[in-house]
Structure formats: C-alpha cells, structure tokens
C-alpha cells in the first residue's frame, strides 16, 4: 500500500539537520556571529561530498562490467552522472564566495576554539579522491594524510584505496576498444608510410609521421615522447594508462565527430572537467586560507596554505588524459579512415 502521508520535514529529516549546528563560541559564552555560517557551509560541503561519492560508486559499478556497450544507455548514464559531478564541483567552488563574506577578524573570533578540528579531517573528500584514482603514493603531505582521523574513518579511506578506481576502470575500458584489433576495419585503409605490418600499426606509423612533421624545432623531443606514451609500456616511469589505452583515448579525441565515439569522448572530457574543477576548488581554498590566516598553520596541524599549494600542484588525477592533447594534429591533416571503419563508427 502506498503511503500518502509523507511530510516534507519528516522526509528530509529537517529536525535533525536544522538542529545540528552547535557553535563552540556559544559553549564558551563568547558569541561569534560568523561561526554559524562556517558550520553550515562545511555541513553543505559534506552533503555534496556524499552525493559525489554516490555518483562515483554508480559509475564504477557500470564500468566494472566485462563489457560496456558504447552504443547503449549504460554509457549515456556514465556521461550523465560524470556531468552531474562536474556541476556539483562548480557549486562547491562558488560556495567559497559565500565563505569569503567572512572577514579574517570574523574568523579569529572563534578560530582557536576549533582546534584540532579542520577541513583536513574530511574523510569523505579523501575517499572521493581515492575512488577517482588518486593513489596514496601520489599524495602530497603523506605525514598529515590520516594523522587526525579516527580509526573507523581511516578504514573507510583504506577501503576506497583498495577498490578499483575510476582511473583504473577507465584504463581497462579503453584497452577493450576493439577497432584496432579487427582487421576488417582496416581493409581499404590507404597507408602513407610503407611499412610491412598490419594496417592498424601502419595507421600509427602514419600518424607519428604527420605529428612529427608538424613539430617546431623546439618541440623535437616530443618525437621520442610520442613513443614513450604510445609504444613503450616500460618507459616514462609509473603510469596509470597503458600505451594501448592511450592509443584508444587519442583515437577517440581525433575522430570524435563519428557518432560511435561521441559518448566515449564525453567520458574523457568529463573526467578532465572533474580534474579542472577539483584544481579550481583547491586554488580558491588556498587563496581563501591565505587571506584568512596568512602564514599560520591550520587548526588541524597542517602547514595551512603551503599544504594546500602542494596538493594543488600534485593532485591531478587524470593528468595522463590531459597530456594526450600534446599529440593532436589539425583536422585537415588527419589520416582518412577506411570506408569499413567509417561505417563501424557511424552505427551502420
């Protein structure tokens, strides 16, 4: 039987939410007006972090399947939810505008009462970074990373680190891209480079020649860098995307005008936007902290602005996708794909 007596306040648990603000300044009988704003903004952040984790888990579930049909509602769902994450992250950036209506003196009215509480203790944000693909060894300030957290929260973060991240699942998804392994797609490909190899390999020889020919003298090192990214699995130090995955991702970027590649391109583009918005949020956060407390340490014991700057410089999760734009060439110079490949990419 359908319940027709649901009440707005009960459904949203407003009694709990609206009575969940307990300013420390009130407890000390030293009222600080802006502490209420401070609490509500951070509570709102944590609610949005919960939603972001919810979206990440749903995307990971879809991408964990043995096969994801690129011409299916599944991939559209992935794109839609990644796009929603971008919009939420933009909102989180704009929340800093509200926070900055509080002046440094307003903050000092209650700041010292907060120790050792700090936004640095946001276990949800750390779990979100891990689920997206930021590994512990890549983190800046590892000595502070979980030092202020309770064991149950540390366990949640460790669990997130041990699950397959979006970045790992992306690599697996790109490696399954079938176009290069199906000889029929290359039957009538007209190669420019005379190499005795399969047509799919000739395509990359052609592309490397076209790319190299367009480099300025100052960019000549990029010729070898091309091989590092797209050919040598053991070169370039630690990497998250294999050469095979990088070839697939670049192919998607180059030929995204074909219908079958439009959704895959949106997946890649959305992940880059997520990285960009996270970076923007870190930058705005760093600037706000510098404005509020200058060079002082954070209430949680971190180095304040210096820690935030280190995270800003280092915590790029999808940098390997971003660097692929270094290898794009003009549309007019792109190798012409075979008729068979064109039909495959056009849903025919």
Answer with the residue of higher pLDDT: 298 or 90. Answer: 90
Q: Count the Cβ atoms, other than its own, within 10 Å of residue 308.
A: 25
The structural domains of the chain, ordered by start, are 29-345 (1.20.58.480)
- Window from 149-153, 189-193, 214-218 with minimum mean pLDDT: 189-193
Identify whether the C-beta of residue 62 lies closer than 8 Å to the C-beta of residue 164: no
Window from 4-8, 315-319, 343-347 with minimum mean pLDDT = 343-347
Average pLDDT over residues 82-104: 96
What is residue 296's predicted lDDT score, i.e. its pLDDT?
61
pLDDT at 265: 96
Annotated ligand binding at 41? The verdict is: yes
Nearest one of 126, 130, 124 to 167, comparing CA atoms? 130
Burial 233-243 (b: 16+ CB within 10 A, else e): eeeeeebbbbb
CA distance 264 to 342: 16
Give yes or no for a contact between 303 and 297, defined as CB atoms under 8 angstroms apart.
yes
| Spatial contact of 171 and 155, defined as CB atoms under 8 Å apart | no
Element (H, E) at 245: helix 243-254
**Joined tokens for residue 3:** 């319940």
Does the annotation flag 299 for ligand binding?
yes
Taking the CA atoms of 291, 294, 296 and 301 in sequence, report the sign of the dihedral they define. positive
Q: Binding residue per annotation — 42?
A: yes
Q: Is 39 annotated as a binding residue?
A: yes
Which range, of 73-82, 118-127, 239-248, 306-315, averages the lowest pLDDT? Answer: 306-315
Contact 120, 144 (CB under 8 A): yes
8 Å CB contact between 189 and 181: no
- Confidence label for 197 from pLDDT (cuts 50, 70 and 90): low
At residue 346, the pLDDT reads 86
Determine the straight-line distance between the first and last CA of the chain, rounded to whole angstroms. 47
Q: Is 329 annotated as a binding residue?
A: no
Chain-centre distance for alpha carbon 115 = 31
Rounded CA-CA distance 173/158 in Å is 24
Q: Is 110 one of the annotated binding-site residues?
A: no
**Segment 341-348 long-range contacts (CB within 8 Å, at least 24 positions apart):** 341/179, 341/185, 341/186, 341/189, 342/258, 344/179, 344/182, 344/185, 344/260, 345/179, 345/255, 345/258, 345/259, 345/260, 345/261, 346/258, 346/259, 346/260, 347/71, 347/259, 347/260
Contact 248, 292 (CB under 8 A): no
């Amino acid at each position: 039987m359908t319940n027709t007596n649901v009440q707005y306040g009960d459904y949203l648990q407003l009694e709990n939410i609206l009575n969940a603000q307990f300013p420390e300044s009130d407890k000390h009988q030293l009222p600080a007006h802006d502490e209420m704003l401070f609490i509500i903004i951070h509570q709102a952040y944590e609610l949005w972090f919960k939603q972001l984790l919810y979206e990440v888990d749903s995307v990971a579930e879809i991408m964990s399947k043995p096969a994801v049909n690129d011409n299916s509602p599944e991939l559209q769902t992935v794109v839609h939810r990644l796009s929603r994450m971008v919009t939420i992250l933009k909102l989180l950036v704009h929340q800093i505008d509200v926070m900055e209506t509080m002046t440094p003196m307003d903050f000092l009215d209650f700041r010292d009462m907060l120790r050792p509480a700090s936004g640095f203790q946001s276990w949800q944000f750390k779990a979100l970074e891990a689920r997206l693909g930021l590994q512990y060894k890549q983190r800046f300030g590892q000595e502070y990373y979980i030092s202020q957290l309770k064991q149950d929260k540390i366990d949640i973060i460790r669990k997130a680190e041990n699950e397959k991240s979006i970045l790992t699942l992306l690599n697996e998804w790109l490696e399954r891209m079938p176009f290069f392994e199906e000889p029929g797609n290359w039957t009538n490909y007209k190669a420019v480079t005379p190499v005795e190899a399969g047509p799919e390999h000739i395509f990359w020889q052609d592309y490397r020649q076209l790319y190299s020919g367009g480099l300025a003298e100052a960019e000549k090192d990029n010729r070898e860098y091309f091989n590092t990214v797209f050919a040598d699995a053991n070169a370039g130090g630690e990497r998250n995307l294999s050469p095979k995955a990088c070839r697939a991702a670049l192919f998607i970027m180059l030929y995204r005008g074909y219908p079958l590649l439009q959704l895959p391109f949106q997946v890649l583009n959305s992940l880059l936007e997520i990285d960009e918005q996270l970076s923007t949020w870190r930058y705005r956060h760093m600037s706000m902290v510098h404005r509020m407390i200058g060079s002082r340490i954070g209430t949680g014991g971190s180095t304040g602005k210096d820690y935030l700057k280190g995270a800003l410089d280092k915590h790029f999760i999808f940098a390997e996708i971003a660097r692929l734009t270094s290898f794009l060439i003009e549309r007019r110079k792109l190798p012409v794909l075979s008729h068979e490949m064109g039909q495959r990419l056009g849903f025919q």
